[in-house]
Amino acid sequence: MNPIDDWMARRVTVHLITSGPQGPVLVGARVLFGQDPEEVARALGGLSPQAPLVALDVVTETVSLYRGCALHVDRVVFAEPGLVSAWPAVVPVEGLTPSVPALVAEEDPAPEDARPRLRRFASYGIVTDPAGRVLLSRIAEGFPGAGTWHLPGGGVDTGEDVRAALRREVLEETGQSGVVGELITVASHRRAGSTGTDIYAVWVFSHVHVADPGKPWVNEEHGSTADCGWFTPAELTELRLSTTARRGMEFLVRHRRRG
């Protein structure tokens, strides 16, 4: 547990660059437990459920407001296609809204008969090398998805941004140092945990390039990673992939087609 978690609360917001009366405008809203960031963005723009969006950025703010009150806010930015170039010039002088003070209030509590809730914000990488291989880590026994091959990455610590978190996780899980590049997408996932906990996660997927790959090795003790390795695209089809890895690969294919 990060000791900062004891005094710094976490929030997630979503922002959309959309068309206004006089050109591109940026609108924003808080993302509540269980909400999908893309769905919130489409609602902000009055768009159809199938309207395409481009994930542009994740901006992290950590602000101490007053004694005993500090917030870590992960702000997910989308744009309608054709408006990507407006970022970040479209950001108002006063900053992104909702403002940090407007996010202090807790969400409405869950019903008394609801399951316990757990919220996660995680950063995962599609990690490649100059030969086109993909780096994966295998989940250790005792963890959800045990035995499956997974994308390097994991939870973003309080006070940490998604890029720093991804670099740290890749190094811990595989011993490789990479450069975090293009944002691929931001998605959400909700499931019931083995303890009956209602688990809701926001997943950030980014490309990571390792220019000088070495032999992968697990650089953490007693963690969730049992093994790691480089795989060719052909070898990937023979592996049992985690839900996160399957979704990440699907997002990457769609992202390349769109590009």
Query: How many other C-beta atoms can be found within 10 angstroms of the C-beta atom of residue 39?
Result: 14
- The pTM of this model reads 0.91
pLDDT at 1 over 50: no
Which pLDDT band, with edges at 50, 70 and 90, does 132 fall under? very high
Q: Identify whether the C-beta of residue 258 lies closer than 8 Å to the C-beta of residue 79.
A: no
Phi, psi of 67 (to 5 degrees): -55, 125
pLDDT in tens, 199-216: 999 999 999 999 999 999
Helix ranges, the chain (H): 37-45, 162-174, 233-236, 243-258
pLDDT at residue 22, rounded to an integer: 93
d(CA 32, CA 117) in angstroms, rounded, equals 12
- Residues 88-110, mean pLDDT to the nearest whole number: 93
Q: Identify whether the C-beta of residue 204 lies closer than 8 Å to the C-beta of residue 31.
A: no
d(CA 189, CA 121) in angstroms, rounded, equals 10
d(CA 170, CA 178) in angstroms, rounded, equals 8
d(CA 257, CA 259) in angstroms, rounded, equals 5
pLDDT in tens, 31-89: 999 999 999 999 999 999 999 999 999 999 999 988 778 999 999 999 999 999 999 99
d(CA 36, CA 155) in angstroms, rounded, equals 18
Counting residues of the chain whose pLDDT is more than 70, the rounded percentage is 95
Query: How many other C-beta atoms can be found within 10 angstroms of the C-beta atom of residue 73?
Result: 20
Q: 117-128 and 198-209: which strand pairing?
A: parallel
pLDDT in tens, 7-19: 789 999 999 999 9
Structure tokens given for 58: 């994740």
d(CA 211, CA 177) in angstroms, rounded, equals 9
